[in-house]
Amino acid sequence: MTEMSFDSSFAYTEEPLESAAALERRLRAIGAARYHDLHPFHDMLHGGRLDLGQVQAWALNRWYYQSSIPIKDAVVLSRFRDRETRMEWRHRIEDHDGSPGDEGGLDRWLALTTGLGLDEGYVTSARGILPATRFAVDAYVSFVGTRSPLEAIASSLTELFAPNLHERRISGMLAHYDFVHPGIMTYFQRRLGQAPRDAGFALDYVKTHARTPEARALVCEALIFKTDVLWVQLDALYHAYVTGHPPPGAFRPEGAA
Amino acid sequence: MTEMSFDSSFAYTEEPLESAAALERRLRAIGAARYHDLHPFHDMLHGGRLDLGQVQAWALNRWYYQSSIPIKDAVVLSRFRDRETRMEWRHRIEDHDGSPGDEGGLDRWLALTTGLGLDEGYVTSARGILPATRFAVDAYVSFVGTRSPLEAIASSLTELFAPNLHERRISGMLAHYDFVHPGIMTYFQRRLGQAPRDAGFALDYVKTHARTPEARALVCEALIFKTDVLWVQLDALYHAYVTGHPPPGAFRPEGAA
């Protein structure tokens, strides 16, 4: 519906996007400047500075993101007439949804929320999530359905930066919280193997298929959009549960004011 | 794309929605509990407790909402095969867009942003807005295009509660800020007359066309959705410009850190 423009006020390298190599350098610079590993909520989460209710709020809201990913990936898959790309993309849906008798990422996320003491029915209803979470996640699903197939794939490129974040999350949360144990952190453990494969495919795809500086700029804007989708979710958690302004109708941790 | 459910954890009257009169009572209760006149950012704005940069950030972000309203209203209009409803709805687009030689609400909003010292090209580019603003506003445009025509109209019902807010805004901002004068507040002055007409039509429409308790519940959910759209925008402003965590790429007031 809306146009976005590359935000030139933000200090990336200004190298022109004349080649696939220049595109990759720009993408990595965007990640270094805007990926949500830089967000102060993550510092608090990984450094043991949140209480159980705040970690619950994070896991509850993130459920809505996680549970929308196979939907998002189905929309991406639907954009390709080319059967090879569809076949390549298909495993992402399976990774998250699993199969009968074979757990997927969503089961592993529910192991986390249940392990943190949240009722599974409440979590999957998404009734208590922050409206900002819903709007950001829905914007992501909408983006991949309305932008070009190239931009749809490019918006997945945050996966390039996920493994480092997940490693810090696993070690930090296990070290700092007595309510966290390895059995509820399997989602992140498993993604350490899955994300690099997915990110590698997407990076090769955009490097091959974005053949002009204009197309490469759209790839960069798609990644910026996606970093915004992730950042907004943490800003909303911080405002609601660190600053202490949960909006009407949102989850309130037990024992909170 | 997503389902929403009526949030029964929030304390409205639990009167069943057996009649149009019961629906109106429920809608007014939702407004009393969730309309953004209750938001602490508005207390600060109207009470003179913001600085110029914070008021600029509010006006800049709100431009994106304002400038999306005629687009939203065109989508609403497009949902109706019935010519009478289209003719009734049409003036809303004109109210905001104006006509050649006849200013509209968007001109009046730009008089505000320019009067506050913001460059018109920067404002209309929407480059500096908060991503949360974009996601919330885009969710509103998407909502009216994908939900039923009844829900599309119902989501405009926040207009019922706007005049009181606008009156407080006009008097509060004129009293408290030396950078505010009547010439830049004409948007709100004009809406005092427009909003009641629009809200009256929408309220009559939903009371007439929602004929079952289930349809009336959808009307209420549409209003709750819309209060979330408004509330999220102020939460994001508060987090960025009061708590002091502007996200990457967003507007930074001159002189701010």
Buried b (16+ CB within 10 A) or exposed e, B92-117: bbebbbbeeeeebbbebbbbbbeebe
Going by pLDDT thresholds of 50, 70 and 90, the confidence category of residue A14 is confident
Q: Which residue of B has its CA nearest to A68?
A: B2
Question: Which residues constitute the domain of residue B63?
Answer: 31-243
Specify which residues B99 forms β-bridges with: B102
Find all residues with CB under 8 Å of B129, minimum gap 6, and list them: B60, B61, B63, B64, B250, B251
Domain count, chain A: 1
Using CA coordinates, name the residue in chain B closest to A252: B9
* Residues with Cβ within 8 Å of residue A68, at least 6 apart in sequence: A137, A138, A140, A141, B2
Across the interface, do A232 and B132 touch by the CB < 8 Å criterion? yes
* Average pLDDT for B127-154: 98
Closest A-chain CA to B230: A131
Strand partners, B102: B99
Decide if pLDDT at B196 tops 70: yes
**Is A10's pLDDT higher than 60?**
no
Nearest CA in chain B to A33: B248
CB contact under 8 A, B235 and A232: no
Q: Does B139 touch chain A (CB under 8 A)?
A: yes
The answer to whether the CB of A109 falls within 8 A of the CB of A188 is: no
Q: Which residues of B touch A240 (CB under 8 A)?
A: 235
Average pLDDT of span B52-74: 98
Chain B residues with CB-CB distance to A37 below 8 A? none
- Considering only alpha carbons, which residue of chain B is nearest residue A32? B248
For residue B166, being part of any structural domain is answered with yes
Q: How confident is the model at residue A256 (pLDDT cuts 50, 70, 90)?
A: low
| Residue A210 belongs to some domain of the structure | yes
Nearest to B247 among A126, A139, A231 (CB): A231
Hey, is the C-beta of B128 within 8 angstroms of any chain A C-beta?
yes
Residue of A nearest to B12 (CA): A249
The identity of residue B56, as a single letter, is Q
Statement: residue A257 has pLDDT above 90: no
Rounded average pLDDT over B130-154: 98
pLDDT at B1: 32
Does residue B69 lie in a domain region? yes
pLDDT band at B4 (very low <50, low <70, confident <90, very high): very low
Whether residue B3 is predicted with pLDDT greater than 50 in this model: the reply is no
CA A137 from centroid of its chain's CA atoms:
9
Arithmetic mean of pLDDT, B170-182: 97
Q: What average pLDDT score do residues A160-173 get?
A: 96
How does residue B14 score in pLDDT terms, banded at 50, 70 and 90? confident
Residue A189 inside a domain? The answer is yes
Percent above pLDDT 90 for chain B: 92
Residues in chain B closer than 8 A to A235 (CB atoms):
132, 236, 239-240, 245, 247
Closest-CA distance, B150 to chain A, in angstroms, reads: 21
- Residue A18 forms part of a structural domain: no
Query: In B, which residues are within 8 Å of A1 by CB distance?
Result: 71, 138, 141-142
Q: What residues of A are in contact with residue B248 (Cβ under 8 Å)?
A: 10, 33-34, 227, 231
Tokens of B207: 């009371």
pLDDT at residue number B79:
97
pLDDT at B256: 62
Confidence of residue B212 (pLDDT cuts 50, 70, 90): very high
- Average pLDDT rounded to a whole number, residues B178-199: 95
- Let me know if residue B195 belongs to a domain: yes
Residue recorded with tokens 């006006």 = B59
Average pLDDT of chain B is 94
Output the domain CATH number for residue B48. Answer: 1.20.910.10
User: What pLDDT, on the 0 to 100 scale, is given for residue B2?
Assistant: 34
Q: Which residues contact A196 (CB under 8 A, 6 or more apart)?
A: A159, A163
- The predicted structure's pLDDT at residue B11: 47
Q: How confident is the model at residue B10 (pLDDT cuts 50, 70, 90)?
A: very low
CB-based contact (8 Å) between B6 and chain A?
A: no
Task: Tell me whether residues A136 and B131 touch, CB distance under 8 A.
Answer: yes
Residue of A nearest to B126 (CA): A4
For A44-77, the pLDDT digits (tens) are: 999 999 999 999 999 999 999 999 999 999 999 9
Contact residues, chain B, for A232 at CB < 8 Å: 131-132, 135, 236, 247
Q: Work out the minimum CA distance from A190 to partner chain B, whole angstroms.
A: 27
pLDDT tens for each residue of A26-44: 999 999 999 999 999 999 9
d(CA B25, CA B12): 10
Angle of the A83-97 helix axis to the A52-78 helix axis, nearest 10 = 160
Name, in order, each residue with C-beta under 8 angstroms of B136's C-beta and a sequence gap of 6 or more: A131, A132, A135, B228, B229, B232, B233, B236
Give the mean model confidence (pLDDT) for residues B69-89: 96
Q: State yes or no: pLDDT of A7 exceeds 80.
A: no
Q: Provide the pLDDT confidence category of residue A4 given band limits of 50, 70 and 90.
A: very low
- Determine the pLDDT at residue A13: 52
Verify whether the Cβ–Cβ distance A131 to B232 is below 8 Å: yes
Question: How do residues A175-231 score in pLDDT, each as one tens digit?
Answer: 999 999 999 999 999 999 999 999 999 999 999 999 999 999 999 999 999 999 999
Using the predicted structure, report yes or no on whether residue B165 has a pLDDT greater than 60.
Answer: yes
Alpha-carbon torsion A126, A112, A76, A219, what sign? positive
Check pLDDT > 50 for residue B6.
Answer: no
Average pLDDT rounded to a whole number, residues B7-11: 45
* Average pLDDT value for chain A: 94
In a domain, B8, yes or no: no
Q: Is A249 close to B142, i.e. CB distance below 8 A?
A: no
Contact B131 A5 (CB under 8 A): no
A140 within some domain: yes
Distances in Å between the Cα of B36 and the Cα atoms of B89, B166, B224 are 24, 12, 11
Chain A CB within 8 Å of residue B256 CB:
no
Which residues of B are less than 8 Å from A224 in CB distance? 249
Surface-to-core class of residue B175, CB atoms within 10 Å of its CB (0-12 exposed, 13-18 middle, 19+ buried):
exposed
A139 and B141 in contact by Cβ < 8 A? no
